[in-house]
Amino acid sequence: MKIGIFDSGKGGEFVAIKFREMFPEHEFLVVNDREHMPYGDRETEEICELTDTAIQPLLREAKIIIIACNTATTAAIEFLREKYPSHKFIGFEPAVKPAARNSRTGSIMILATPATLNSAKHLALKNNFAKNVNVLEPEITATWAEKIENDAFREEDLTAVVELARQHNVDEIVLGCTHYLAVEQALREKLPAVEIVESVTAVGRMLEKYLREK
The SS3 of residue 88 is strand
Strand order through the sheet with 2-7? 27-32, 2-7, 64-67, 88-91
Instruction: Quickly name the fold that domain 2-92+201-213 has.
Output: Rossmann fold (3.40.50)
pTM confidence score:
0.87
* Catalytic residue annotation: 69, 177
CB environment 54-63: b (16+ within 10 A), e (fewer):
bbeebbeebb
Tell me the CATH architecture of domain 96-199: 3-Layer(aba) Sandwich (3.40)
Per-residue pLDDT of the chain (214 residues; tens, 9 = 90+): 999 999 999 989 999 999 999 999 999 999 999 999 888 888 899 999 999 999 999 999 999 999 999 889 988 999 999 999 999 999 998 899 999 999 999 999 999 988 889 888 899 999 999 999 999 999 889 889 889 999 999 989 999 999 999 999 999 999 999 999 999 999 999 999 999 999 898 899 999 988 887 6
Q: Where are the domains of the chain?
A: 2-92+201-213, 96-199
Strand order through the sheet with 107-111? 134-136, 107-111, 172-175, 195-197
Report CA 210 to chain centroid distance, whole Å: 20
Amino acid at 110: I
